[in-house]
Structure 1
């Protein structure tokens, strides 16, 4: 049975965007190299143009948008974190991947840039 070795967030520039607009696909990488989609509904946009984009900021923001949301009214940050990881655990369990929440939380989380994003950053001198 395959096991998860790390999470990878694939940050990709939205097609034909003149301003910074990035989608993020959160994936679990398995020990056999396969990637399993966990979340495909994350991303952000700004009013900055691509030449103003900073790769380190994109990496940091990708981790934030793929990660736990801020706590809702009356909830603590610890509760929001726990709820997020239980949600991730349920998505993975539906795909026959079972790990306790504490092990999921401990996994490495890498950000990779997709080809469009790499090209836009390179064209901007980054």
Structure 2
């Protein structure tokens, strides 16, 4: 019996506090973008993204959840256009490259389909502990 084709249900970016400096203001976050399939399996699409900043991490100073989520979505792309390309072209290339990663894992999808999916952001416990409540 053939197995039904798996489809991508949503995208999810996982954030991990990679480093909190001793000055308690600087920090680094790593970001991994996964495609979450309809059977709850995951395919890693990007695992080389993240950012560093000098910002509120110390006692009494908290990070803003909405800012973290927005930054996470920007960091996993699409990137700013390369010289000579439009934002639309860069976005199309980005989403097509992610669809190619999925194809390599045996999951059929198009870049346009991926671009329309819900995109959640999940924080690790160390980062979540620093979020403003």
Q: What TM-score comes out, normalization by structure 1 length? A: 0.89
Bigger radius of gyration: 2
Residues in 2 aligned to 1:102 and 1:83: alpha-carbon distance in whole angstroms: 10
Is contact 1:59–1:111 with CA below 8 Å preserved after alignment?
yes
- Answer 1 or 2: which has greater helix percent: 1
Q: What TM-score comes out, normalization by structure 2 length? A: 0.85
Q: Which residue of 2 aligns with 1:120?
A: 130
Is contact 1:12–1:23 with CA below 8 Å preserved after alignment?
yes
Gaps of 5+ in 1: none
Is contact 1:9–1:62 with CA below 8 Å preserved after alignment?
yes
* Pairs aligned (count): 123
Deviation >4 Å, runs of 4+: none
Please report how far the alpha carbon of residue 46 of structure 1 lies from its aligned counterpart in structure 2 after TM superposition. 0.6
Q: Which residue of 1 aligns with 2:33?
A: 26
Q: CA RMSD in A?
A: 1.4
Q: Which residue of 2 aligns with 1:111?
A: 121
Matches within 5 A, 1:1-126: 1-17=5-21, 18=24, 19-50=26-57, 51-121=61-131, 125-126=132-133
